[in-house]
Structure 1
Amino acid sequence: MMDKDRIAGAAKDFAGKAEGVVGNMTGDAKTQAEGRAREAAGAVQNLYGQAKDAVSDATDAAVNYAKDAYDNRGDTIRGGRKAVAQTVQENPLGALLIAGGIGFALALMMTRPPRRPPQRWRYYG
């Protein structure tokens, strides 16, 4: 399933290239610059859509893997490393985003100062 950002980004990228070609043919620097800007915006939007697709695919793969692991507990333990390695090879961007998210969450948990109980005031008098 393609994300709408990927489709819109590809369309902007194509339109920007076309506008750049027209600017080159006519010698219009403003049209060339606008075409390059539109092309860059389209490429960024396309990459954003690809990242969203990768995260969605990785999430679906993780849910399916968990269901399979529960159903086939013994076989899954042996094949778990192979399945994870294959998922990472097939979808490296999604794996990178998930690993980065987990690392970010762990870093937040480890760097947060511990909770201290409220200070109790004592009267010495």
Structure 2
Amino acid sequence: MARMLENKSVREVWQEIERVMKERPEPIQGMNTVYQYDITGDDAGTFQLLIVNGTARVVEGTESTPDCTLTLSDKNFKKMIMGKLNGTAAFMTGKLKIQGSMGLALKLEGILNEYNLSETA
């Protein structure tokens, strides 16, 4: 299953993230946060994950002021989503840069782990 996710574009991975969060919103209930991902590399782009009252929506580009911005390569983004790269380790080794709330970044890692996206795609 993880291989399928690995072969998807960054945009398709975000579509998958949005889909699973809408199907099972429990882990994001009560959250009101804007995460921005600045993805570098061959499949670069800026994406925002907007969580409002426990409802997730992904937009390409910038729609709102982010509470937390994460910058990483397209390959490392996919590795993190598939659970093959720990967010804290990525940050400590310079593979992930975080602006804004470090606490929100850690919370997002826990939430994404709950969705176990490596098994959904």
TM-score relative to the length of structure 1:
0.22
Larger radius of gyration between Structure 1 and Structure 2: 1
User: Larger relative contact order (C-alpha < 8 A, sep ≥ 6)?
Assistant: 2
Q: Which of the two has greater helix per residue?
A: 1
TM-score relative to the length of structure 2:
0.22
